[in-house]
Structure 1
Amino acid sequence: MIQPAFILAVLALMLAMVSLLVAWMMWRQSQRKLEAMSRLMRELTRSRDSYRKQLEELQVANIGLGKKMAELTRHLGQLHEQQQELALKDPQSKLYSRAARMVQLGADVEEIMAECEMPRAEAELLLSLHRKQK
């Protein structure tokens, strides 16, 4: 006959083995989760580095655009000054500007000739050019 102490010892041994098996399975599952999280962390780090590089490139491009914009603004100012100087130097341009405005407002050849002291041929040319632009 089997001794009760032996049965208890076998049961305790089996319980210990089952406990060890469950603990090992839980440890293995934790290891898999840790590996998956490590892979995800590496992917996120690569993405972050890529985005950081793109941001740096955009910053460099933005600085370049800012410099170009400042240069263009300066150049536009110079052109505006030159245009004003030319307008002051050439009194005829004032007459042509005025005549062009009159054409836009619907003046006829006679009105343009009278107001701007312009020959008929020039007044007709202005009217003709204005009609072609419409």
Structure 2
Amino acid sequence: MNASQFSVLALAIAAIALVLLVAFCIQSFQYRKRTEQTLETLRQQVASVSAQSKDVGHQVEEQQNRSLVQSKHIQQLQEEITGFNNQIREVKLQDPSMRMYQRAAELVKQGASLEEVMESCDIPRAEAELIVTIHKK
């Protein structure tokens, strides 16, 4: 091999090496660009999920607050109902005629006949019939 052939061969090898280096740089650049795009997409998705998570957290907190307010209202209503029931019970116990009708209702529930209710409670037939109609099973 003479010097000119060696120079051509060296030049050819250098050219091939240069082409390979350029190809490697292009591939590396494209890979880096795809990696950056993927990372940016992932960042956007993480930001979106984070925002959605915060929204859900706020919705849960709001729902818990509503439930707490509703529980307080329900408790107040139950207390009022208990108070009303106590007042009704007191009124029934204070009114002698109401005791008579309560006794008549109890007799009907125990299976007493119309005549037995009228005699035991000393109430007219129409009222006894009404009580029997209302309280008979």
TM-score category of the 2 structures, normalised to the smaller one: 0.7 to 0.9
2:69 matched residue in structure 1: 64
Task: Work out whether 1:24 is the aligned partner of 2:66.
Answer: no
Task: Work out whether 1:116 is the aligned partner of 2:112.
Answer: no
For the residues of structure 2 that align with 1:84 and 1:130, how far apart are their CA atoms?
18
1:11 matched residue in structure 2: 16
Partner deviation per Cα, 1:16-68 (whole Å, 9 max, x = no partner): 11111111121121122112112211221221122122112212211211210
1:79 matched residue in structure 2: 84
Helix, strand or coil: the match of 2:65? helix
1:37 matched residue in structure 2: 42
Give the deviation of 1:91 after TM superposition: 2.8
Between 1:12-21 and 1:38-47, the stretch displaced more is 38-47
RMSD over aligned CA atoms reads 2.1
Give the deviation of 1:129 after TM superposition: 4.6
For the residues of structure 2 that align with 1:126 and 1:74, how far apart are their CA atoms?
30
Unaligned 5+ runs, structure 2 = none
1:127 matched residue in structure 2: 132
Alignment-mate amino acid for residue 124 of structure 1 = E
CA radius of gyration, larger in: 2
TM-score of the two chains, using structure 2 as the length reference: 0.81
1:54 matched residue in structure 2: 59
Percentage of pairs with the same residue:
29
TM-score of the two chains, using structure 1 as the length reference: 0.83
2:100 matched residue in structure 1: 95
